[in-house]
Amino acid sequence: MNTIQHTPAGEHTFVQFLFHNRRNRTILYWAAAAIVVQFIVFKYLYPFANYIRDDSFAYLDAALDNMTIATYPIGYSKFLRLVSVFAKPDLALVSLQYIMIQCSTLFFLFTLFYFYRVGRLTQNILLCFMVVNPLFLHMGNMVSSDGLFLALSTTWFALLLWIMYKPSSKINFWHALVLLAAFTVRYNALIYPFISLLAFGLSKLPLRKKVLGLGLAFLLIGWFVGLSMFQYKKLTGHYQFSPFSGWQLANNAMYAYRKVDSAARKPVPLKFQALDKMNRRMYDRYPYLPVGEAGTYYMWAPSLPLMVYKEDLFAKDTTTSEFKKWASMGPLYSSYGLVLIKNYPIHYLRYFAAPNSLNYFFPPVEFLEKYNGYKTTVLESAVTWFGYTNDQVRTRMKSGTVYILQYYPFLVSITNFMLFLLFLTYLLMKGWQNNSIFNKIILLAGFVWLANAAFTILSAPVALRFQAFPILISVTFSLLLIDWIGRLMQQMKLQNQKQSLAI
């Protein structure tokens, strides 16, 4: 029988737990020193920020023009503008991003240690994984929303633990603010409000305060969604939250549609027929087009139907901006993608979701593997924004390949498989009995793990940089469950020894 008791630090405040506890204070000092030293060495090797072709410069263009809506979520471009108020060089941006990642992970870990008594060995392994992690260095060094989103997601999850175990109006406020920030930075945050619902449901807050806490979060998100939809209505004449999701949906559906036998193709509504005809012609002429599996090729390739159809519609329009053309296609492509998925659901699961699930459990390193895409120059927007003297960027490494990250897909596969088995073990051993504190943590982590996997596999291509937060969750809770099993076995051994002595 599992009767392991775990109590939070209880009488001590969190600040006292961090700085009045000698061990915790020492850990923080050593962690700070390790973070600074690592970053100095890293920046000597990589003196310039890393850029993702198209993505990074799209964020910079949106920041330069102070746009309220853009190709990608606008939050990161606003973050760039905020940082530029205080400092212009790229060093200021990437150092802040790295510090935010490290502070968020330490906040997350010490929140866990505050509410749940974790074994010393497990604590040390987790601290080493978070503090000495090359993935965080490379993500912090990118002009991309990925590092910021990782920091926000980790902070948000830590705040959910506070909501469950030591809620307050201040925690509710910070939760709503961080959730809003995450929502403006990446579309993966679309599932976060539903996860927050679970955390509030497990909280000991009175119902009125639960409603107020959730209400504030949903009010802020609703304001952002409404503002975005209003801006797109002014621009395109259509209410939509994100044209990107429409393009993404059509792209995903086309990966399944290409596998439908020509004789089995179903008719589509009249408004889609011209586009559908272009797609069918492409599939028939180029059945082995190298578009990869569950990627984004269809939505960006200028010679393929989605882009060609857009250009055809605006062929006689020489005044409309490229962004307006692109955004105007969002509603049509969203509807077209939904029609294809509805017509061929089995094909969608087999030819998009299935290969995407393989990528989820073994994510490609993608852009993180190639410093600046192996290029030695950047676009003018980067030169202007960061005040470079020219468009040249360099690294002191012999190769632009980031070899150290090539092992991460194996880590992701192993930890996801382990976490699944450990969750199963927890259920079979009835770990939820007499262990309410740990049970809530495991329930929340399991829901995050499953929700993120389902959302990602069904809706978006996968890459390592997108999976940094799920990796953090998988590693942390795999180790916590191993720690729990070890403690349980030790307790059972002691009970058997006592019974033997009694006999």
Per-residue tokens: 250 = 């059509």
Cβ pair 101, 147 in contact under 8 A = yes
pLDDT at 500: 72
Q: Nearest-CA neighbor of 49 among 393, 368, 402?
A: 393
- DSSP element (H, E) containing 213: helix 207-236
Between CA 147 and CA 220 the distance in angstroms is 23
**Tens digits of per-residue pLDDT, 124-163?**
999 999 999 999 999 999 999 999 999 999 999 999 999 9
φ, ψ for residue 377, nearest 5 deg: -130, 160
Half-sphere exposure of residue 262: CA atoms within 13 angstroms, side-chain side = 10
Between CA 257 and CA 414 the distance in angstroms is 32
359 pLDDT above the threshold of 80: yes
Residue 69 CB neighbours (<10 A) = 22
pLDDT at 473: 97
Cβ-based neighbours of 8, under 8 Å, separated by 6 or more: 114, 115, 116, 165, 166, 437
Residue 89: C-alpha distances to residues 43, 83, 246, 252, 395 (Å):
13, 10, 35, 38, 17
Structure confidence at residue 310 as a pLDDT band (50, 70, 90): very high
Residue 354 CB neighbours (<10 A) = 13
**Tens digits of per-residue pLDDT, 459-477?**
988 999 999 999 999 999 9
Average pLDDT over residues 267-277: 96
The DSSP letter of residue 265 is: P
Going from N- to C-terminal start, the domains of the chain cover: 14-237+366-502, 243-361
What residues are paired with 142 via a beta bridge? 50
Structure confidence at residue 451 as a pLDDT band (50, 70, 90): very high
Average pLDDT over residues 194-206: 95
Unique residue bearing structure tokens 């998925």: 341
Q: Nearest 5°: CA angle at 76, between 71 and 77?
A: 70
Per-residue tokens: 361 = 């459990």
Q: Output the pTM of the full model.
A: 0.94
* Percent of the chain with pLDDT strictly greater than 70: 97
